[in-house]
């Protein structure tokens, strides 16, 4: 019968080796798991909220919400790897005075950066360039006082307003940007204005293809704005 009795020493040695291996495996897991957790957390980039204070060019006049400038800019930035949400605070027909009047409730406390796209309706109505400049100054000054990075989008007066008016109006945006040391995108409709292929029938508001051109051209300025915050 003795030949059928198992060797307990061998059996116990096997058990001890397996137990030791299990302890080593658990020790390695305890060392690795915290590292993986920290690495995953650091890889997640916080989402920045970009608000565009504007007029019909921001509101997307004549376009669907998905075709409008805020939505297309957000999609473009996300495609480039930026964690951002773009909120369109655009009101069709708004002037710089209108933007100033609604500034506090249009730009919420959760905003991280702001694009100011106003002035086109001031020019279409022939409003005083000095008044437009003063309104923009107050808008930028109040945003900067809140610690918000600002990108000022410039606008040009239509040619039918005359050379003197156009010269005075067009200089407003560079003047405000220089005074408050904020970046300036010189002309919001650059590459789109007066091109019938890129505008709606009124030749004032860009179509969907025109919006894409605006997004592509302004994107480097917007990325620099977000990185400055």
> Structure tokens of 54?
């504007």
76, 175, 202, 228: the active-site residue: 202
> Structure tokens of 198?
């890129």
Strand partners, 89: 53
> Structure tokens of 99?
């933007």
55, 56, 76, 106: the active-site residue: 56
Residue 98 CA to residue 91 CA, distance in Å, equals 9
- Length of the chain counted residue by residue: 229
Q: Which helix (H) or strand (E) holds 139?
A: helix 129-145
Residue 62 CA to residue 128 CA, distance in Å, equals 28
Q: Look up 56 and say whether it is catalytic.
A: yes
Q: Look up 202 and say whether it is catalytic.
A: yes
55, 76, 122, 205: the active-site residue: 205
Q: Look up 104 and say whether it is catalytic.
A: no
Catalytic residues: 56, 202, 205
């Amino acid at each position: 019968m003795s030949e059928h009795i198992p060797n307990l020493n061998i059996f116990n040695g096997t058990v001890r080796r397996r137990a030791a291996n299990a302890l080593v495996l658990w020790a390695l897991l305890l060392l690795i798991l915290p590292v993986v957790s920290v690495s995953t957390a650091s890889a997640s980039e916080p989402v920045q909220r970009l608000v565009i204070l504007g007029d019909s060019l921001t509101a997307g006049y004549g376009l669907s919400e998905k075709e409008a400038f805020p939505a297309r800019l957000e999609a473009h930035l996300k495609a480039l790897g930026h964690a951002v949400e773009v909120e369109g605070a655009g009101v069709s027909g708004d002037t710089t005075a209108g933007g100033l009047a609604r500034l506090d409730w249009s730009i919420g406390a959760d905003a991280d950066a702001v694009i100011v796209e106003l002035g086109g309706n001031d020019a279409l109505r022939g409003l005083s360039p000095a008044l437009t400049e003063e309104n923009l100054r107050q808008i930028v000054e109040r945003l900067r006082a809140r610690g918000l990075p600002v990108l000022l989008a410039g606008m040009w007066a239509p040619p039918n307003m005359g050379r003197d008016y156009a010269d005075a109006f067009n200089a407003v945006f560079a003047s405000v940007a220089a005074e408050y040391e904020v970046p300036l995108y010189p002309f919001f409709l650059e590459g789109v204005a007066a091109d019938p292929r890129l505008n709606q029938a009124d030749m004032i508001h860009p179509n969907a293809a025109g919006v894409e051109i605006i997004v592509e051209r302004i994107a480097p300025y917007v990325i620099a704005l977000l990185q400055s915050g």
